[in-house]
């Protein structure tokens, strides 16, 4: 990814319950790809000021050089593959030619968390809103055209770009529904089953297992399935809809995205013990659930934290989708993060190997594992209620059932 050397920009932050962002720091990428961040003196000395990133950029220091470039909460506020594809289309450039600074500076109102990035100190609030859910048919069509490389109407593309700044690789857009922003997850042309229904069924089952999930709605837009998830980094306050801080588990651990060998549930739990120790039990449940439903895409950017009034807590869960498997193939299941003594292996023995990181006794951890496994074995009920077809349901038999049937 090319970087623009020395092009300065400002990092703004929306104070809690405020509609206007205020400038917090000046930043620029250096020629070697590092990111310089320097807090303004006035901002730093105000008692009520919030850090841009409480872990990586606390206010007790004025200047930082992030030698690994854009990472931490700043990276979490920048789009991923999908959002980047839409921005590149909007500015009519090849995605590989767009710089990290360009992605940050692309005006958008719906990025994750409470940060914003502006070229000038005087730049006013971006005068854009995410599209209303009434436009979902146009948004779906535009997203499909992007994936297929077909002609796209510029006005429709602009509508999609206004809500396409969240992370992740699947097509999506933030829309206003019932006067509040929701993340709408679209089907992809590459899907082999109805993702929206499978995700909804699995998330509902996760909730039954004691996992907090955002409010969800399923929508059928002219025969196309869309899953709506209420944005958990937004909140209704007296002055309107305000923003909460957000960081991924990757940022909580100060880990660089490319350092995949460092991805670890244990490490995240260890960091959580400093900021939100009581949330570690739910985090343990999420790890256990991911193993029992065979969600192998459980990397640290699929776990998040909300920062409210300076306090860090586990965000509601998201992107829990089982990986389908064929009987006899891939019976050894490995996850995207280290689980315990036996590395990334998705086994009960591994889940129970290092329970102390989660503040749990072996006995309590066993109880949780047993209770989640029992609930997961009734997975078919949830798939049926969500309207997943019988043929599609069978694709997940080995994910939920085969390995665990005789364990209880
Ligand atoms: N309900 C939500 N509210 C706010 N942010 C969310 C919500 N759900 C997901 N996100 C953010 O959006 C990103 C993409 O969502 P995700 O479901 O992981 O999409 P994908 O399937 O493309 O990976 C996540 O990494 C997370 O930061
Ligand atoms: Mg994801």
Q: Are residues 177 and 60 in the same domain?
A: no
Q: CB neighbours of 7 closer than 8 A, spacing ≥ 6?
A: 28, 29, 101
Residue 329 pLDDT grade (very low, low, confident, very high; cuts 50, 70, 90): low
Shared-domain flag, residues 170 and 262: no
pLDDT tens per residue across span 179-197: 999 999 999 999 999 999 9
Average pLDDT, the chain: 93
**Helix axes of 195-208 and 362-376: crossing angle, nearest 10 degrees:** 140
CA separation for the pair 26, 227 (Å, rounded): 38
The residue-averaged pLDDT of 239-251 equals 94
Question: Which ligand 1 atom is the nearest neighbour of the CA of 171?
Answer: 22
pLDDT confidence of residue 239: 83
Distance CA 396, CA 383 (A): 10
Q: What is the 3-state secondary structure (H, E, C) of 7-71?
A: CCEEEEECCCCCCCCEEEEEEEECCCCCEEEEECHHHHHCCCCCCCECCCECCCCCEEEECCCCC
User: 164 and 44, same structural domain?
Assistant: no
With the C-alpha atoms ordered 201, 79, 129, 160, is the resulting torsion angle positive or negative?
Answer: negative
Average pLDDT over residues 222-247: 95
Q: State whether 56 and 97 are in the same domain.
A: yes
Whether 251 and 198 map to the same domain: the answer is no
The rounded distance, in Å, linking the Cα atoms of 301 and 257 is: 9
DSSP character for 230?
A: E
- Is the Cβ–Cβ distance between 227 and 218 less than 8 Å? yes
State the pTM of this model: 0.95
Q: Is it the case that residue 382 has pLDDT exceeding 80?
A: yes
- pLDDT band for position 7 (50/70/90)? confident
- Protein residue whose Cα sits closest to atom 7 of ligand 1: 231
Q: Which CATH number characterizes residue 286's domain?
A: 1.10.1070.20
One domain, residues 215 and 261: no
Is the domain of 189 the same as that of 282? no
CATH of the domain at 169: 3.30.200.120
User: Does the residue 124 lie in any domain?
Assistant: no
Task: Give the C-alpha separation, 149 to 130, whole Å.
Answer: 24
In a shared domain, residues 58 and 146:
no
Helix axes 154-161, 81-90, angle to 10 degrees: 140
Structure confidence by residue, pLDDT tens digits, 280-298: 999 999 999 999 999 999 9
Range 53-68 average pLDDT: 94
Q: 205 and 253 in one domain?
A: no
Kindly tell me if the per-residue pLDDT of 330 is higher than 60.
Answer: no
Ligand at shortest distance from the CA of 168 = 1
From 166, 215, 251, 298, mutation site for ligand 1 pocket: most ligand atoms within 8 A of C-beta = 166
- Which DSSP helix (H) or strand (E) runs through 243? strand 240-243
Using DSSP, how many helices (H) and how many strands (E) does the chain show?
15, 14
Number of other CB atoms surrounding residue 104 within 10 Å: 24
Task: Identify which of 358, 373, 401, 396 has the alpha carbon closest to the alpha carbon of residue 201.
Answer: 396
Residue owning the nearest CA to atom 2 of ligand 1: 231
Listed range (90-104, 151-165, 321-335) with the worst mean pLDDT? 321-335
Distance (angstroms) between ligand 1 centre and the Cα of 210 equals 20
Q: What is the mean pLDDT of residues 135-148?
A: 96
Nearest-angstrom CA–CA distance, 386 and 177: 21
At residue 328, the pLDDT reads: 65
- 38 & 69 share domain: yes
Please state the rounded mean pLDDT for residues 343-370.
96
Burial class, 361, CB count within 10 angstroms (exposed 0-12 / middle 13-18 / buried 19+): exposed
- Number of structural domains, the chain? 3
pLDDT reading at 4 higher than 70: no
Atom of ligand 1 nearest to the CA of 170: 22
pLDDT for position 368: 98
The pLDDT, as a whole number, for residue 226 is 98
- Does ligand 1 lie within 6 Å of residue 303's CB atom? no
Proportion of the chain above pLDDT 70, given as a percent: 97
Give 50's contacts (C-beta < 8 A, 6+ positions apart). 13, 15, 16, 114, 245, 307, 310
pLDDT band at 408 (very low <50, low <70, confident <90, very high): low
- Measured in angstroms, how far is the CA atom of residue 128 from the centroid of ligand 2? 25
Could you list the residue range(s) of the whole structural domain that residue 102 is in?
9-75+91-117
Q: Is residue 192 included in any domain, yes or no?
A: yes
């Amino acid at each position: 990814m090319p970087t623009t050397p020395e092009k300065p920009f400002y990092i703004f932050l929306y104070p809690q319950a405020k509609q206007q962002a205020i400038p917090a720091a000046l930043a620029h990428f250096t020629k070697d790809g590092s990111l310089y961040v320097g807090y303004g003196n006035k901002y730093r000395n105000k008692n009520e000021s919030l850090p841009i990133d409480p872990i990586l950029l606390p206010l007790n220091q004025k200047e930082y050089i992030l030698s690994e470039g854009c990472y931490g909460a700043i990276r979490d506020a920048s789009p991923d593959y999908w959002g980047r594809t839409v921005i590149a289309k909007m500015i009519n450039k090849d995605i590989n030619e767009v710089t990290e600074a360009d992605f940050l500076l692309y005006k958008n109102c719906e990025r994750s968390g409470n940060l914003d990035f502006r070229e000038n100190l005087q730049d006013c609030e971006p005068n854009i809103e995410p599209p209303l859910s009434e436009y979902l048919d146009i948004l779906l069509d535009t997203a499909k055209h992007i994936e297929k490389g077909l002609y796209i109407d510029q006005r429709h593309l602009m509508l999609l770009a206004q809500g396409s700044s969240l992370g992740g690789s699947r097509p999506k857009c933030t829309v206003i529904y019932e006067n509040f922003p929701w993340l709408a997850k679209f089907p992809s042309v590459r899907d082999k089953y109805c993702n929206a229904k499978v995700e909804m069924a699995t998330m509902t089952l996760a909730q039954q297992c004691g996992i907090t999930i955002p409010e969800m709605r399923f929508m059928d837009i002219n025969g196309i399935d869309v899953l709506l998830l209420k944005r958990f980094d937004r909140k209704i306050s007296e002055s309107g809809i305000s923003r909460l801080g957000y960081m991924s588990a990757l940022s909580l651990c100060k880990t660089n995205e490319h350092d995949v060998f460092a991805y670890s549930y244990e490490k995240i739990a260890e960091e959580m013990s400093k900021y939100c120790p009581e949330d570690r039990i739910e985090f343990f449940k999420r790890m256990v659930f991911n193993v029992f439903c065979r969600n192998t895409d459980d990397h640290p950017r699929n776990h998040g934290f909300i920062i409210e009034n300076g306090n860090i807590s586990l965000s509601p869960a998201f992107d829990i989708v089982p990986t389908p498997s064929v009987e006899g193939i891939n019976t050894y299941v490995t996850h995207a993060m280290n689980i315990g003594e036996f590395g990334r292996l998705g086994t009960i023995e591994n889940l129970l190997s290092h329970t102390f990181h989660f503040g749990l006794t072996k006995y309590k951890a066993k109880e949780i594992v047993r209770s989640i496994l029992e609930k997961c074995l009734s997975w078919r009920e949830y798939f049926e209620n969500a309207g997943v077809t019988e043929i599609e349901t069978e694709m997940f038999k080995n994910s939920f059932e085969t390995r665990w049937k005789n364990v209880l």
